[in-house]
């Protein structure tokens, strides 16, 4: 319907019972009014590349007809120049998107990230990029990145590199997610490249600490003494947890979150269903590990019965939200204090790896024991590893550890 759009005309238009009615202005071609069941909205429309483009101006009441007409002239001028105003508006919004908004979108897109990974990302955002969160991503340039990297590096070079690797992932995501009206990325280049171009990445040596063979007896004795000399409900659990790590090479969180349903006493195996590399990991249990877990299972049942509770599904139960024991840092410090041996949970994994390598275990068996990917090895892609093939090397590692700890060797 064509009419001159005036205030009195718009005021008198009735709302339809269903659908929408369109009224187009007789004086300004492309200016119109859309009337729905409860709204009256001004718009401008025209063609760009032979496609009709309609742009909403605003509601009647918020805009008077003459105000809307003035807005429409500007929009129609853009259309006449072949510019799609909707694309321009989208580009404007894209250029103003903040770091916090991009990070939220990144987490939503990467919905398979592990909770621990998200916690690490959140901590990184808060610790190093708090003041940037409301800043448009397009304003975070190479100079800012270089200064921030240097600033963090004054406290920790390793953390500076880690923070910038995280930021590189955010920018790479944004490069493919946010575009201008021509379909070009709002960020033409990842500013983190500056660190490579100027060779500003810090040289951080990979941590190589392990428990040396001559320190194993003191460490083993201190770990086994925890139930007698430590305080707290987790002292028995912590002992078995630390032994599990050094005799399996599992990562800290893999050990803490281990569930009984993943321990097969009949087959003498344990399985990590969702490890760091997403490849299900099944390990054979050496005799020592089998006895350790069997005793832990029995003790968990006794502990649960004494408390009048159901048995926990976790090998190392806890009282927190996760259901399993928190990282026993205080008890680890007690072991360090008694033994004089400094270590971290990952040092136990490195100790397992170092011993396995020293026993001339085949490269494929070693990688399988550690669940390391062999992406560039074509032959490895054809090898299906049966846990039973790993049982003999697993027992050899256990024997070596027990012998080094001055314990009776398992045969």
- Whether residue 153 sits in one domain with residue 13: no
Residue 62 lies in a domain: yes
Q: What tens digit of pLDDT does each residue of 145-174 get?
A: 999 999 999 999 989 999 999 999 999 998
Here the CATH number for the domain that contains residue 40 is: 3.30.160.390
- Whether residue 342 sits in one domain with residue 283: yes
Q: What tens digit of pLDDT does each residue of 331-377 get?
A: 999 999 999 999 999 999 999 999 998 998 887 788 888 876 555 54
Q: What tens digit of pLDDT does each residue of 299-339 get?
A: 999 999 988 888 999 999 998 888 999 999 999 999 999 99
Here the CATH number for the domain that contains residue 147 is: 1.10.150
Residue 90 lies in a domain: no
Residue 206 lies in a domain: no
- Whether residue 47 sits in one domain with residue 190: no
pLDDT for residue 388: 87
Are 87 and 53 contacting, i.e. CB atoms less than 8 angstroms apart? no
Cα distance between residue 311 and residue 303, in whole Å: 8
- Whether residue 349 sits in one domain with residue 277: yes
- Whether residue 9 sits in one domain with residue 118: no
pLDDT for residue 245: 96
- Whether residue 316 sits in one domain with residue 222: yes
Distance in angstroms between the alpha carbons of the first and the last residue of the chain: 95
- Whether residue 178 sits in one domain with residue 271: no
Cα distance between residue 29 and residue 279, in whole Å: 63
- Whether residue 276 sits in one domain with residue 232: yes
pTM recorded for the entire structure: 0.62
Are 57 and 34 contacting, i.e. CB atoms less than 8 angstroms apart? no
Last residue of a domain, one of 139, 169, 197: 197
- Whether residue 304 sits in one domain with residue 398: yes
Here the CATH number for the domain that contains residue 266 is: 1.10.443.10
- Whether residue 103 sits in one domain with residue 66: no
Q: How many independent structural domains does the chain possess?
A: 3
Cα distance between residue 35 and residue 112, in whole Å: 44
Domain membership of residue 120 as a residue range: 99-197
Please give the share of the chain, as a percent, with pLDDT higher than 90: 66
């Amino acid at each position: 319907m064509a009419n001159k759009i005036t205030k009195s005309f718009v005021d008198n238009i009735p709302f339809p019972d269903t659908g929408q009615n369109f009224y187009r202005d007789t004086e300004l071609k492309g200016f119109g009014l859309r009337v729905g069941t409860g709204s009256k909205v001004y718009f401008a429309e025209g063609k760009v590349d032979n496609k009709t483009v309609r742009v909403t101006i605003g509601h009647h009441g918020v805009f008077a007809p003459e105000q809307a007409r003035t807005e429409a002239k500007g929009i129609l001028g853009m259309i006449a120049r072949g510019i799609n105003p909707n694309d321009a508006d989208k580009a404007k919004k894209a250029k103003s998107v903040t770091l916090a908004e991009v990070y939220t979108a990144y987490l939503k897109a990467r919905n398979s990230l592990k909770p621990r990974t998200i916690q690490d990302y959140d901590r990184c955002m808060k610790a190093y990029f708090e003041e940037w969160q409301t800043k448009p991503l397009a304003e975070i340039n190479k100079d800012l990145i270089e200064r921030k990297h240097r600033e963090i590096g004054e406290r920790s070079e390793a953390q500076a590199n880690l923070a910038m690797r995280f930021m590189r992932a955010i920018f790479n995501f944004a490069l493919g997610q946010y575009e201008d009206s021509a379909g070009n990325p709002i960020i033409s280049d990842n500013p983190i490249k500056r660190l490579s171009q100027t060779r500003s990445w810090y040289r951080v040596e990979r941590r190589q600490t392990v428990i040396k063979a001559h320190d194993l007896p003191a460490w083993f004795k201190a770990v086994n003494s925890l139930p007698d000399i430590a305080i707290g409900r987790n002292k028995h659990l912590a002992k078995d947890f630390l032994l599990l790590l050094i005799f399996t090479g599992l990562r800290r969180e893999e050990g803490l979150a281990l569930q009984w349903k993943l321990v097969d006493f009949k087959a003498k195996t344990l399985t990590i269903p969702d490890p760091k590399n997403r490849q299900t990991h099944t390990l054979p249990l050496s005799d020592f590990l089998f006895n350790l877990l069997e005793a832990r299972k029995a003790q968990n049942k006794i502990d649960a019965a004494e408390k009048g509770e159901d048995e926990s599904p976790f090998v190392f139960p806890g009282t927190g939200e996760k259901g399993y024991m928190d990282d026993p840092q205080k008890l680890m410090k007690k072991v360090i204090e008694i033994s004089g041996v400094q270590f971290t949970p990952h040092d136990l994994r490195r100790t397992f790896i170092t011993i396995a390598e020293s026993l001339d275990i085949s490269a494929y068996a070693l990688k399988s024991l550690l669940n390391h990917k062999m992406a560039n090895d074509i032959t490895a892609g054809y090898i299906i590893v049966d846990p039973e093939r790993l049982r003999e090397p697993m027992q050899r590692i256990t024997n070596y550890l027990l012998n080094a700890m001055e314990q009776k060797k398992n045969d």
